[in-house]
Structure 1
Amino acid sequence: MKAITFDQFGPAEVLTLTEVAEPVLRPQDLLVRTRAAGVNRADLTHRRGGYGRPDFGDSTLMGLEIAGDVIAVGAEVSGYKVGDRVMGIVGGGAYAEVARIDYRMAMPIPDSLNYVQAAAITEVFVTANEALVNLGKLQAGETVLIHAGAGGVGGAAVQLAHAIGATVITTAQASAHQLVRRMGADYVIDYVHEDFATVVDSLTEKRGVDLILDFIGAPYFERNVNALNFGGRLVQIGIMGGIENAKIPLDRLLYRHLQIFGTVMKSRSQEVKHAMSQRFRERWLSEFGKEGLAPIIDSVYPLAEAAAAHQRMEEGLNVGKIVLTA
């Protein structure tokens, strides 16, 4: 089969299309003819050597989410058969014509969705649900601040928070404001020209928000804590802005009874990942369709052009998900 490989860590140009052996089917696996694969920031980190090893433990190939057709079923699998359309998060190996997935991480593709749409769902929406609902405990009537609302996880979180019935404030560059409003944002802050903490103060009459989802890290940390209401929760999903010099106002943390959570899917145990996927599937999968939730697709590249897809993400040009087709 054809797959994207690289011989050394480095820039996008290290990615090449080569011929490799198909993955071995294990008892709890589905083998899937990959039709589409989502591109995630974790793939960029993987390619640069940020994880300190060339794989995620399950495959030497990169890529974390797939959509395609089942071509083989392991001996201990239940609920799936050859020919089923499935999507889901894999432990590496998505950038290939054939991938394997633990059947407990797989989900049926809703009839209303094509493969490209399906490949853009699981990584971002499972992560968003974990942050908003399982950790953040967002309730109808609460107010949430979602940073990077035009990004993959951010855009998914905006949609889920709107569906829950929360008031949604998000940060995004000016060119994406119309899009995030269509996804369900009630207020959009231009993070380039506005200070989000000042705007939140104004919008909430200085009460603060009940929940914040943040991908930036140190540059936002102190302002995030100061922007929380009594009993507020901060869920840290990423550290795109770095970790150095993060300041925490301990008096605010103490006297406002705040809670701070950190979450990253890659380092979770397989059992926890199963539970995360199942929580998302049970609550939200049926909501995808013409009138419901929908993945936001930025662009689609053939598998052979994975380097160009990575370059687009690295340059911050994408609004929504980048997808590869195999």
Structure 2
Amino acid sequence: MHAITIPEPGGPDALVWAEVPDPEPASGEVVVAVRATAINRADLLQRQGHYPPPPGAPAYPGLECSGVVSATGPGVTGWQVGDEVCALLAGGGYAERVAVPAGQLLPVPAGVDVVDAAALPEVACTVWSNVVQLAGLREGETLLVHGGGSGIGTFAIQLGAALGATVLATARAAKHDRLRELGAGHLIDYTEQDFVAEVHRVTDGRGADVVLDIMGASYLGRNVTALATGGRLVVIGMQGGRRGELDLGALLAKRGTIAATALRSRPTAQKAEIVRGVRDEVWPLVEAGRVRPVVDRRLPITQAAEAHRMVGANEHVGKVLLTVS
């Protein structure tokens, strides 16, 4: 088969479409013939040499895919050759085929095209496990989403709105109309506005019950200030740096909680548990049309370098997909 390889870390042109060995399904695995995969920030970091795949994962980038089951390994039940699926991966999605633990498979939701389904697994599992499972977002609460125009952001906005929360999101002004259509009740232009002041203005000084943050260090202090009493801050990215200063007195006064999680490095059993939760609680919302994949554009997988440039420029809304013919 062919896959996008990274012979040497570097810029987008470090991505090379090359012939590689075919995957074989181990016990409990299936092989998926890939129809599409999606670009994630982690892929850009891996290309640059900063985010190697966990032990045992394919060396190729790609944390999610959609396609058709082409082979099953020993011990697999509930899936058969020909099933249309999408999958959460530890790596290897930028390829014609990939071996996946069966517990990380999801059926393509009714009403969703198999190609567009590649935009769902990583964002659905990340957002549900952090916003719902960990932070416990409830109906009537306020959710602040940073990076509202990203794949994670567009999904979090929709899921928060579907759960009955008031959703605030930070994004460039050019993306505001699109995000409002997805369910954001208030948009904050982070290039011009102080998001803390806006959160307190919109909530009459109460603050946000849950903050989903991709920035890390640069937003840490301001995120705590933006929290409501009893608020929960979940950090899932470090685009603003790894090390920040925390005023514990401010956190104590708000009886706040800070959590930080990563999905890729979790054990297979934990990923399977998250996937089951997504299938049970999120897929019905997708099939009802209340949450849907947001796809900015689709490019052939041989144009992966161009797709990485687009995502790096941060001008897209939702996911950029790579299609495999």
The TM-score range, normalised by the shorter chain, is: over 0.9
Matches of 1:18 and 1:267, distance apart in 2: 26
Which residue number in structure 2 is paired with residue 303 of structure 1?
Answer: 301
Between Structure 1 and Structure 2, how many residues are aligned?
324
Is the counterpart of residue 168 in structure 1 residue 186 in structure 2? Answer: no
Whether the 8 Å contact between 2:67 and 2:115 is mirrored in structure 1 is no
Which residue number in structure 2 is paired with residue 77 of structure 1?
Answer: 76
Matches within 5 A, 1:206-245: 206-244=205-243
Whether the 8 Å contact between 1:67 and 1:115 is mirrored in structure 2 is yes
Matches of 1:212 and 1:223, distance apart in 2: 11
Which residue number in structure 1 is paired with residue 43 of structure 2?
Answer: 43
Which residue number in structure 2 is paired with residue 177 of structure 1?
Answer: 176
Q: CA deviation at 1:247?
A: 2.0
Whether the 8 Å contact between 2:76 and 2:102 is mirrored in structure 1 is yes
Is the counterpart of residue 17 in structure 1 residue 17 in structure 2? Answer: yes
Query: What residue identity is the alignment partner of 1:170?
Result: A
Matches of 1:267 and 1:75, distance apart in 2: 24
Q: CA deviation at 1:243?
A: 2.1
Whether the 8 Å contact between 1:56 and 1:91 is mirrored in structure 2 is no
Q: CA deviation at 1:55?
A: 6.2
Q: Secondary structure at the match of 2:297?
A: strand
Q: CA deviation at 1:165?
A: 0.3
Q: CA deviation at 1:319?
A: 1.2
Query: What residue identity is the alignment partner of 2:64?
Result: E
Of 259, 262, 275, 1:261 maps to: 259
Q: CA deviation at 1:87?
A: 0.4
Q: Secondary structure at the match of 1:94?
A: coil
Matches of 1:193 and 1:172, distance apart in 2: 10
Which residue number in structure 2 is paired with residue 2 of structure 1?
Answer: 2
Which residue number in structure 2 is paired with residue 247 of structure 1?
Answer: 245
Is the counterpart of residue 111 in structure 1 residue 147 in structure 2? Answer: no
Q: Deviations over 1:208-239 (max 9, x none)?
A: 11111110111111011011111111000101
Matches of 2:146 and 2:218, distance apart in 1: 12
Q: Deviations over 1:23-65 (max 9, x none)?
A: 12111111111000111111111111102x4665311222111
Matches of 2:91 and 2:110, distance apart in 1: 26
Query: What residue identity is the alignment partner of 1:39?
Result: I
Q: Deviations over 1:260-317 (max 9, x none)?
A: 0101101211111111111111101122247321111011111111111111111112
Matches of 1:150 and 1:14, distance apart in 2: 26
Which residue number in structure 1 is paired with residue 30 of structure 2?
Answer: 30
Percent identical pairs in the alignment equals 39
Query: What residue identity is the alignment partner of 1:11?
Result: G
Matches of 2:122 and 2:102, distance apart in 1: 16
Q: Please tell me the root mean square deviation across aligned C-alpha atoms, in Å.
A: 1.3
Unpaired runs of at least 5, structure 1: none
Q: Secondary structure at the match of 1:288?
A: helix
Change over 3 Å in CA distance of 1:107–1:116 after alignment to 2: same
Whether the 8 Å contact between 1:55 and 1:62 is mirrored in structure 2 is no
Q: CA deviation at 1:201?
A: 1.5
Whether the 8 Å contact between 1:226 and 1:249 is mirrored in structure 2 is no
Which residue number in structure 2 is paired with residue 122 of structure 1?
Answer: 121
Whether the 8 Å contact between 2:10 and 2:49 is mirrored in structure 1 is yes
- With 310-319 and 99-108 compared, the bigger mean Cα shift is at 310-319
Matches of 2:218 and 2:203, distance apart in 1: 22
Which residue number in structure 2 is paired with residue 270 of structure 1?
Answer: 268
Matches within 5 A, 1:309-320: 309-320=307-318
Matches of 2:25 and 2:172, distance apart in 1: 44
Query: What residue identity is the alignment partner of 1:294?
Result: R
Q: Secondary structure at the match of 1:59?
A: coil
Q: Deviations over 1:97-148 (max 9, x none)?
A: 1111111100111231112210000101110111110111000011111111
Query: What residue identity is the alignment partner of 1:262?
Result: A
- With 289-298 and 177-186 compared, the bigger mean Cα shift is at 289-298
Matches of 2:99 and 2:88, distance apart in 1: 10
